[in-house]
Amino acid sequence: MNKQYDRSAEDLGNIVGLEHVNLQIDDQGVATLFYISGLGLTRDPFMMTSIDNMWVNVGRSQFHLITGMPQHLRGRVGLVVPDRAGLLRRLENLRKPLKGTKFDFTEHNDHVEAICPWGNHFLCHDPAPRFGRINLGMPYVEFDVPVGAAKGVADFYARVFGAATKVDGTAARVSAGMEQELVFRETKAKLGPYDGHHIQVYVANFSGPHRELLERGLITEESNQHQYRFDSIVDLKNGKPLIQIEHEVRSMRHPLYARPLVNRNAQQTNRNYAPGYDAFIPGAEAEEMDDPRYAMRQRRMENVTPQGTARRRAG
């Protein structure tokens, strides 16, 4: 009984999962080149298999890519993608087929920034302690917000959603589940118009946020028994809009909650094929829970944690 643990590090706020980012695109073939061939992600083999929508699996999260007028996320999507060398090789191979689009990529010390053919930015990180056990997934979505908005955004999520939040300098950080967060970073740059893209989250207390949003007149859609939507984050003191981004809010009773997602091993090709290694298992082979690198986990909202590095394993 002499071991000491930081029990608060295991606490979660009311938002239990960031499941998908929804962005319209106008060409599913081009989307396949970028998301599947380039980033190395996996088209869901069971859902949305026609040409009007594409669900792309990334660990336990997804992109929903509806065919329509292209949308632009005012910020960045953070991804954990294993095998940086393989990622860079795949992206380099897209230079020619995606010529004439907004596609580009740049390698940095701690990530690879990839720009999709429609101008959306993706920061692709190696698996690292700061992302806990994620070795393939979506650890964060970062939105640009006006100067002075960060505290109001944090207060909104804390009060309305019962989420764990913190203000880190000029950024509000909102816990969105296991090793996932929403980041709202202040910028002096002029924000482009909101075009209807959205994110989807699961919450444990489903009725509480609904009641808070309804009282403020913020509900935009009563989707069904398990889901509702809103699209304005406001200053709770005066009701002034801080940022517009549609949230698809689902309960943990939603039939799609915790649906197992298929992820492929992007390193597997017909030239280096190894039987039994087609699938990729997100979060496999984490450190032992009493390993010092794992046991001293800090609060979820910390920017960097001393958790054990999650090693990737295909199979």
CATH number of the domain located at residue range(s) 12-295 in this protein: 3.10.180.10
| pTM attached to this predicted model | 0.90
Check if the beta carbon of residue 157 is closer than 8 Å to that of residue 116.
no
Query: What CA–CA distance (Å, rounded) separates 251 from 226?
Result: 5
- CB 52: neighbour CB atoms within 10 A? 9
**Of 49, 32, 57, which Cα lies nearest the Cα of 260?**
57
What is residue 297's predicted lDDT score, i.e. its pLDDT? 40
What is residue 3's predicted lDDT score, i.e. its pLDDT? 82
User: Per-block average pLDDT, block size 10, for the chain (315 residues)?
Assistant: 79 94 98 98 97 97 98 98 97 98 97 98 96 95 98 98 96 96 98 97 98 98 98 97 98 98 95 93 70 46 32 31
Instruction: Output Rg (C-alpha) for the chain, integer angstroms.
Output: 19
